[in-house]
Every structure is written in C-alpha cells, then in structure tokens.
Chain A
Amino acid sequence: MMKKSSFASKLINSPYILWSVLFIIAPLIMVLYYALTDASGAFTLDNVKGIADYSSTFILSIGYGAVATVISLIIAYPFAYFLAHTGASFQRMSVMLVMLPMWMSFLIRTYSWITILGDSGVINSFLRIFGIGPLPLLNNGAAVILGMVYNFLPYMILPLYTVMSRMDRSLIEAAEDLGASRLSVIRRVVLPLSVPGIASGFTMVFVPSVSTFYITQKLGGGQINLIGDVIEGQFQVANNYNLGASLSLVLMVMILICLGILRLFTDSDEGNGGVLI
C-alpha cells in the first residue's frame, strides 16, 4: 500500500507495539512470575502441583462453558440469519437493540434474573395460577447456564450477523436456481460461509463463560463452583496470589487449547479470529 513509507509504517506501528508489549505481554509475564514463585519470591513448583486439586473444577468449567456456547450458537444462528433478511433500517435498529442491554451493568441484569426465576419469582408466580410449581429454577446448574447464555448471547449474535449480512446473496440465489432445497442451501452455502462468524462468536462466548464468577454466585446459589470462583477466591479471600496466578495460567492455556482445536475445524486462515461487527 504505502510504497515509500516503511519508515512511516514503523512510526505508526511503534506506539501500538509499545502498548502491546507494556500492557499485554508484560502483565502475562507477571502472571508467569507469580505462578512460579512462592510468597517470599523464591522459585517453586508447588503452585503448579496444587492445581491438581482443582482438575475436576476445570473440567466442569469447560463443560459449562461449552454447553453455554453451544446453546448460544443454537439461539443466535437462526436469529442472525433471519435478521440479515429483513429491511435495512430494521437491521440497524436491531443490532443496536442487541447491544443495548450491555449498557446496563451485567451485575444488575444477572441480579434481576433472580427475580424472574425464584420460587416467588415472575415465572413461578405465573405458573401458580395454573396450580403448577414452584419449579426449582434457581440455584442449580441450569440457572447458571441460562445466566451465561443471557449475558453473552450478544457476543454470539453480532459476529454471526456480520458474516450473514455480508454474504453474497447471488450465491444463495444461484444455489436456489440450481434446484437446491432451502435446507441444503443453508447447509451447503450459508453454513460454510458463516464459519468465521461462528469461530468469533464461539471465542467471545466461551472465554467469558468459562471464567465467570458472579453468575455462579448469584444464580447458582453457591451450589456450583467454577474455576472463576476459585481464582477469584484465591486473590480476594485466601490472598494466595501465587496459586491464583498459576490457576489463571492453566485456565489460559486450556482456553487456548480449546480455541486451537476449534481453529483446526474452522481452518480460518485469516488468523485474526474472524469478524466482529
């Protein structure tokens, strides 16, 4: 693009590279440092060994995260597809409406789910009219998953919508003209073309779901303890920064592995996690 501007490009890149090194790389080195030292600063592997106690929590967290992500995908995919086929002004409005709930603190939105799901909550009060219930909707794994899906659904919808709306419509029309059924159009044309969106959405929902702690505390009623709770507990309650750091490190590596596996299947060669909005 800029022919004589390799100096200029360096100039323009250097603030960002400096920023990245200072505030992305350096903090991670700090985590690594804490993970491999004890409270007095001496090198130790005890923290890494201590992780073994939490292996089941790790698996459970990954499981919850995966389930929440898959459910989000199932909800968001048709939504994005349908939305991409509506009028332009409706689309614009809807995209803003999808983002709008995020402008209210996620704490307060999660909190209000208690009001909806509780034994005297909105749903159970409604069911009571028909003599049903109260159903145990709160303080269990399902409520936690619901909280995750609710909170992170916009992160799935937005990238999916972006790929769908950018999709070349003539491809779909061509497939239809060639006699493909609606379902096979979706399967053969829309689905493969939306893979980058799925990959982005997956990342943006899976990562926060795996590491959440507020949702489990409020909607899980302390019944479900995920890795986010444990890490938060190490830093905020037990004051064991070193174990907390090593747990964070493992969480990070596990997430990277999961995303790496995902990348294998989506073979998105763009290398930038796909698209956003």
Chain B
Amino acid sequence: MRTKSSPLSRLYIALVFVFLYAPMAVMTVFSFNGNESTYTLHGFSTQWYVRLFSDAVTVNALKNTIILAVVSAVISTVLGTLATIGINSLKNKHVQSSIMSVTNIPMMNPEIVTGISMMLLFVFIGRLFSRSDTLGFGTILIAHVTFQLPYVILSVLPKLRQTDPRIYEAAQDLGCHPVNAFFKVVMPQIMPGIVAGAIMAFTLSLDDFIISYFTNGPDFQTLPIHIFSMTKKRVKPDMYALSTLIFAAIFILLILMNIAQSKSEKKQRTSKEEAVL
C-alpha cells in the first residue's frame, strides 16, 4: 500500500525538485566563474571561495545570521511550546480562540507590515526612555521570535491535542510531580511537533530579509541585508560560493542524518523481530 507510487508520480516529484533546485545548480556553477559576472561564464576559477573567506564583512554577516537563527529558534521554540500548553489548557473557548487569533496575526500580516510596525514600536519605546540606540541585536531577536511563534505553536498544537490527557493524569495519580509528569509523559509525545517547529523557526529566520531590514541596528547586520545593500555596486560570485558551501554542508548533514536514522530504525525492527521470535 505504502509504496504504490507509479513511475509517473516519481517523475513529477523529480520535476518539482528540479524546479526548486535550479537556482542552486546555477549558483554552484557560477561560483566557479572566472570573472565577476553572475550571468555569463568566463572560464573556471576557485578565486571566489578564497575571496569569500578573506572578506571579513561577509563572514561577519554570515556569523550574525546563524547566531540570530539559532538563538531566536531556541527562544521561540521554548516560548511557543509553553504557550501551546497554556493555550491548550484554557477552558474558556472564547479566550482560547481569541488568543489563537492574535497568535495568527504575524502569519497573516505581510512581513513588510510586521517589520515596519516593530520598527515603529522600538523607536517609540526608545524615545520614551530618550535613548537613541534602541535598534540592535535585541530588537532584531524580538522581531524574529515574534514572527516565528505562530509557526511553532501551529506545529506543536495538533500534537498536543492528539495526546491523551488521561495518561498525564495517571502519572500524577501515581505520585509523579506535575512538572515531572509533563516531562516524562507529555513531552515525548509532542516532541516531533516541537522539533518540526524548531526547524521551521530556524529556517524562517535564515530566510528572512524584510523584517531584519527594518529592525536591525548599527551593530548587527545579517547576510540578507548585506546582500541587499550591494544594489549599487554588484552581487559577485562570492555570494554564490557562500550559498554553495552552505548548501553542500547541509546536504551532507542531511544524508548523514538519514543514514543514521534508517540504521536505528532497522535496529529497532530487528530487535522487535527477535522479541517476537
């Protein structure tokens, strides 16, 4: 039943992947270009990889982007999971649905509006405390966490609703502390949702340009802002080289993870079979 996919459907899947990865292929090829063009090929060179790592501004921007993505994903995952539990435990359905509506706002709102409204708020707060340097890592972090939260909540909530509250109650009846019971009973069940939410949050942060653009300050520039500011001069193949490197790193990681996972699954299966025998 599971593997009844026809060759035609496989072809379709492959075609969509070709569409999704066409720019990646182009980047990889042009990252080895002989001159500054990202449009026509002029021989082969690895100069862009060398130049990339000698460019402190780009390296710094890359570092900032990753730090921001990791930190904001961690915060939004923790806060989002807590919020999901809280929302789910609300008995008043009206309160629950109104909180959910508010939660959805950053997702329904165009990014440009979210970014601008955040900037207006931060500047306003800064004025209240008569400080002229409110924008920076803190504000960009808050903005990222805020727009990631609905995605985390939406991936944890369905998992939480699937859990059976009676197991949690049973654990408590058996003398488990509520907090302990939560970590031992509920947490493992909603973990796939939390992981999915965290990956989504991390991805959104890496990909975000518009919100960062409006909320960043003098001490923190992410890679997309750096790339956007090349509008007057030019985007050179070193940016393609960077993307190629990131892509290659993640791709290898993904394959390793997949191998590890299928191995552990096999182990489980064989151990189960052994148990049956």
Contact = CB atoms under 8 A, between A and B. Distances in A.
Interface of A: 1-3, 5-6, 8-9, 12-13, 15-17, 19-20, 23-28, 30-31, 34, 75-76, 78-79, 82-83, 85-89, 92-94, 96-109, 111-116, 118, 120-122, 150, 153-154, 169, 173, 200, 203-204, 207-208, 210-211, 213-214, 228, 231-232, 235, 241, 244-245, 248, 251-252, 255-256, 259, 271-277
Given A112-B26, A115-B30, A104 B247 contact: yes
Contacts of A16: 79, 82-83, 86-87, 149
B250 interface: yes
A1 B165 contact: yes
5 contacts: A15-B82, A86-B2, A99-B199, A106-B209, A153-B19
Interface residues of A, dominant DSSP: helix
B235 interface: yes
Contact of B110 (A23, A94, A207): A207
B112 A213 contact: yes
A108 B13 CA distance: 24
Complex A-B, nearest 9 residue pairs according to Cβ-Cβ distance, in ascending order: A211-B110, A27-B117, A16-B83, A13-B86, A82-B9, A30-B120, A12-B86, A112-B23, A9-B89
B151 interface: yes
Contacts of A82: 5, 9-10, 12-13
Nearest to A75: B16
A28 B118 CA distance: 8
Interface stretch (B44-52, B101-109, B129-137): B101-109
Contacts of B243: 104-105, 108-109
Contacts of A93: 254, 258
Nearest to B24: A101
B181 to A, nearest CB: 10
A108 B109 contact: no
A200 B104 CA distance: 11
Contacts of A208: 110-111
Contacts of B90: 9, 13
A94 B97 CA distance: 33
A139 to B, nearest CB: 14
B26 A103 contact: no
Contacts of B240: 108, 112
Interface in B134-191: 142-143, 146, 149, 151, 154-155, 157-158, 165, 168-169, 178
B20 to A, nearest CB: 6
Most buried by B among A1, A26, A208: A1
A68 B198 CA distance: 27
B114 to A, nearest CB: 7
Contacts of A120: 39-40
Contacts of A17: 99
Contact of A103 (B22, B143, B246, B261): B246
A31 B73 CA distance: 26
A9 B86 contact: yes
B200 interface: yes
Contact of B200 (A211, A232, A256, A276): A276
Q: How large is the interface on B (under 10, 10 to 19, 20 to 34, 35 or more residues)?
A: 35 or more
B109 A277 contact: no
Contacts, number: 268
Nearest to B166: A1
Contacts of B116: 31, 231, 235, 244-245, 248
B3 A87 contact: yes
Nearest to B102: A20
Contact of B254 (A96, A115, A154, A207): A96
A112 B38 contact: yes
Contacts of B1: 169, 173
A26 B121 contact: yes
B228 interface: yes
A224 to B, nearest CB: 17
B24 A97 contact: no
Contact of B2 (A12, A87, A111, A213): A87
A85 B9 contact: yes
Given A9-B86, A86-B3, A256 B108 contact: yes
A277 B155 contact: yes
Given A23-B146, A108-B240, A116-B22, A30 B121 contact: yes
A103 B39 contact: no
A2 B86 CA distance: 10
Interface in B189-219: 196-197, 199-200, 203-204, 206-207, 209-210, 214
Nearest to A213: B112
Contacts of B97: 271
Interface string B16-59: 11011111101100100000001110000000000000000000
Most buried by B among A150, A231, A276: A276
Contacts of B12: 78-79, 82
Interface in B230-268: 235, 239-240, 243, 246-247, 250-251, 254, 258, 261-262, 265
